Amino acid sequence: MVIKPRLKGSLALVNHPMGAYEFVKRQIDYVKSQDKYTGPKKVLIIGASSGYGLASRISLAFGAGADTIGVAYEKVLKEKEQEVQVGGILSLSMKLQKKKD
């Protein structure tokens, strides 16, 4: 799949789905390689599509074993759609990794 970059200044508006999946997978693998810790068991994260929100969700879900709900204002990937906002594909990647566990 060929996805052409769309930028607004230095901000990427689209992301390749496989690259985003690998990006999230590496973060999850790092968290899994660390010691488990005690934390909250049910967490609502507002702004969970990227940045601190996504990192918090990954850390809590895979480091503390928490059930997480991530809330974000993003366009999510639909069937046959090649272009999606960065946060939407990162959130979807997180969900796919969590289902694997």
Amino acid making up residue 54: L
Q: Can you give the pTM of this predicted structure? A: 0.78
In the chain, which residue ranges form alpha helices assigned H by DSSP? 17-33, 51-63, 86-100
For 6-42, what is each residue's pLDDT tens digit? 788 887 777 777 888 899 999 999 999 999 999 999 9
Contact 63, 37 (CB under 8 A): yes
The CA dihedral of 61, 64, 67, 70, to the nearest 10 degrees, is -40
Highest mean pLDDT among 77-81, 85-89, 92-96: 92-96
Interval 58-64 mean pLDDT: 95
Q: Would residue 96 be called left, alpha or beta, if left means φ above 0 and alpha means ψ between -120 and 50 degrees?
A: alpha
How do the domains of the chain map onto residue ranges? 7-100
